[in-house]
Amino acid sequence: MTLEQIVAAGASESATSEQLAAVLHAARGAARELAAALDAQPDLAADLVYQHALDTKTPDLLAALVGTGSDAVLDALCAPSAFHVLLDDEGFAATVLSAVERSGKVDRLRPIVHEHVARAFAAADTQMSAPGYEDPDPELLATFLVTRVRRLPQALRTEAEAAVRELADGPWQDSGRIAVMRAHVLGAMQAK
């Protein structure tokens, strides 16, 4: 079976554990060649990331795919929904983000970290502004974001902190609740 066929079989919705094991074996044994096959088929690379690595919480598979150096895999990982899912689980995030660090491609994640922080503040603002929202607790929302940010490698934590600081001049600069949230996030990030 060619690497392209291994990728196609592994990316299928009905992929078997044997087909996924073949992808994992190829990622570990022929990383550069598999990266080329993944980059030549970015939709299939994305399917592998979303359907089989993220949805099934298979950190070893995703870490191996990242370890190939495939741009298509990193592009898929940098989608907002994929990055959000990645940070849901501390162990999963640690395994995959360590692979990103080893690949030397941490800088590729900087824009999505920035976007993740901005989305968290936008979601908090929407939630706290919703009719019927009682006793807004920006500190609780901030704690949720800080927990996720702490799962990032140090270089990306610095990016997240910079994104929080930039929000001081953003659309929420006059929102008292968001100012409290921002202050709590920055304080908690600096405490560690």
Model pLDDT for residues 104-116, shown as the tens digit of each residue:
999 999 999 999 9
Using an 8 Å Cβ cutoff, are 109 and 103 in contact? no
- Give me the pLDDT at residue 189, please: 80
Instruction: Tell me how many helices (H) and strands (E) the chain has.
Output: 12, 0
Look at residue 90 and tell me whether its pLDDT is greater than 70: yes
Q: Which of 104, 126, 151 is a domain's end point?
A: 104
Largest CA distance in the chain: 60
Give the number of other Cβ atoms within 10 Å of residue 87's Cβ: 21
Residues 65 and 89 in one domain: yes
Domain end (from 70, 104, 138): 104
Question: What does the mean pLDDT of the chain come to?
Answer: 88
Report the domain count for the chain: 2
Q: Does residue 10 sit in the same domain as residue 59?
A: yes
Give the model confidence (pLDDT) of 114-155 as tens digits.
Answer: 999 988 888 877 776 777 666 557 777 788 888 999 999 988
Q: What is the DSSP string of 83-133?
A: HHHHTTSHHHHHHHHHHHHHHT-GGGGHHHHHHHHHHHHHHHHHHHHSTT-
- Tell me the pLDDT band of 165, cut-offs 50, 70 and 90: confident
Residue 40 confidence (pLDDT) above 70: yes
Closest Cα partner for 53 from 74, 39, 34, 35?
A: 74
**pTM score, two decimals?**
0.86
CB 10 within 8 A of CB 34: no
> Region 68-78: what's the mean pLDDT?
96
pLDDT for 15 beyond 60: yes
> Domain range spanning residue 63?
3-104
